[in-house]
Amino acid sequence: MVLLRSEADVDDWCRSHQEPRGEVLPLAHVWQLAQAWYGDRMNPDFRGRSIDSAHAIFREVGLDSNFWLG
C-alpha cells in the first residue's frame, strides 16, 4: 500500500508502475483501519484473522465495497 499526495498522483503512479488502480483512502481513514486491524496484534490471545473477522473490521470502518468484501 503506497503513500501518495493526491488522487491524481495515484493515476500517475499506476501508469508509471503499470499497476491497476485499486482503492484510495485518505491517510486519516487508514489510521482508523490500522487501529481496528492491528490494535490486538500483540494481545496474547490473538489467534489470527479469519476472513469473516477481516470483513467485520472493514465494515466497522466503512469499507463495504467489493474490493474489501468480495
By CB under 8 A, what part of segment 24-43 binds other proteins?
24-28, 30-31, 33-35, 37-39, 41-42
- C-beta closer to other proteins: residue 35 or 60: 35
Helix axes 51-60, 27-38, angle to 10 degrees: 140
- Least separation, in Å, of the C-beta of 5 and other proteins? 6
Asked if 46 interacts with other proteins (CB under 8 A), we say: yes
Asked if 21 interacts with other proteins (CB under 8 A), we say: yes
C-alpha cell at 32: 482508523
Give CA–CA dist 15/21, Å, rounded: 9
C-alpha cell at 11: 493515476
